Amino acid sequence: MLPIGPLMIEHRLIERVIRVMAARVEIMETARSATPLEVEKIVHFIQAFADRCHHGKEENILFRELARKEISPVHRRIMDELIRDHQLGRQLTLAISRANARYQQGEAGALAEIVDGFRRLVAFYPEHIRKEDKGFFIPIMDYFSREEKDAMLREGYEADSRLLHKEHEALVTALESGVSARR
């Protein structure tokens, strides 16, 4: 298996949360309110799973190893763009978290910021994932030997063992159930 297989599987879980976020936008706009605990759970998923776990493996393993290679200017440009994407995702998620805290304090306008942040992440992630899945992960594997791929895969599994995949899977399932029950 290529070391990108687990990363692409993680993309599918992130896509599930993005669909939940899109549904939450509709619900928040209709109800003109948010459920702060659900917003916190989504923020937690994005920060813990999508960023620390998933983007962490990309940046700290795959991109680190790729940076040691002589790669094409196109691949270098895409890698740099993906790193900037990760930074943008972090900023958007932090803004949602801060808006949610202000919403809980009754601040006017905070709901609109939560909705805007969700919309921006819903627009951002599918394009980011497409860029990685279709235009980057597969072609860059040609830069690595079988042994290097195996070593990255092992390192990724070790990183995963330090994180709680099952917790996040259960969180996404619970979020999806909440959306289904309210429709």
User: 79 and 26 in contact (C-beta within 8 Å)?
Assistant: no
Strand locations in the chain (E): none
Question: Over the stretch 126-182, which tens digit does the pLDDT of each residue have?
Answer: 999 999 998 899 999 999 999 999 999 999 888 877 676 666 777 788 888 877 766
Rounded to two decimals, what is the model's pTM?
A: 0.85
Spatial distance between the Cα atoms of 73 and 79, rounded to a whole number of angstroms:
10
Task: Express each pLDDT in 10-24 by its tens digit.
Answer: 999 999 999 999 999
Sequence ranges of the domains in the chain: 4-182
What tokens does 119 get? 């919309």
CA distances to 14, 53, 80, 156, 165 from 172, rounded to whole Å, are 9, 15, 29, 22, 11
Cα-based angle 65, 68, 72 (whole degrees, multiple of 5): 100
DSSP SS3 for 61: helix
CATH of 4-182, one of 1.10.3470, 1.25.10, 3.40.50, 1.20.120: 1.20.120
